[in-house]
A = this chain, B = another copy of it.
């Protein structure tokens, strides 16, 4: 049986060229408190991919809970996550004009629309 899920997310943001090394280093050992907050928020199968020529970070994840907005609010209220974002936001440039950072009302990452899905035998 595959895991239940209610939502898939694909998001993009720019990585500042001068922050690439620091970004790789910090993501090689993400703080346990940050991962724990994601787990409590029912986020699974989360990956970030990086394409240097476009400074492009691509994040994909699945949400397995029942109230995405409420769970994301809990993540945004987590003190360890707030400290994490204070570090990682500074490494990034948002595609969203006027965005101030993660966890605010205006999104920092840009959600990218899904135009095709094929589950295959995972379902």
With CB as the reference atom, state the residue of chain B lying closest to A48: B116
A62 to B12, CA, bound (A): 20
- Give 1 or 0 for each of A91-123: 1 = CB within 8 Å of chain B CB: 000010000000000000010111111111110
Q: What is the size category of the interface that chain A forms with chain B?
A: 35 or more
Contact call A48/B115, Cβ cutoff below 8 A = yes
Contact B44 A122 (CB under 8 A): yes
Q: How far is the CB of A32 from chain B (nearest CB, A)?
A: 11
Q: Which residues of B contact A120 (CB under 8 A)?
A: 38-39, 43-46
Q: Lowest 9 A-B CB distances belong to which pairs?
A: A44-B120, A44-B122, A48-B116, A10-B49, A49-B112, A46-B118, A27-B116, A51-B112, A50-B115
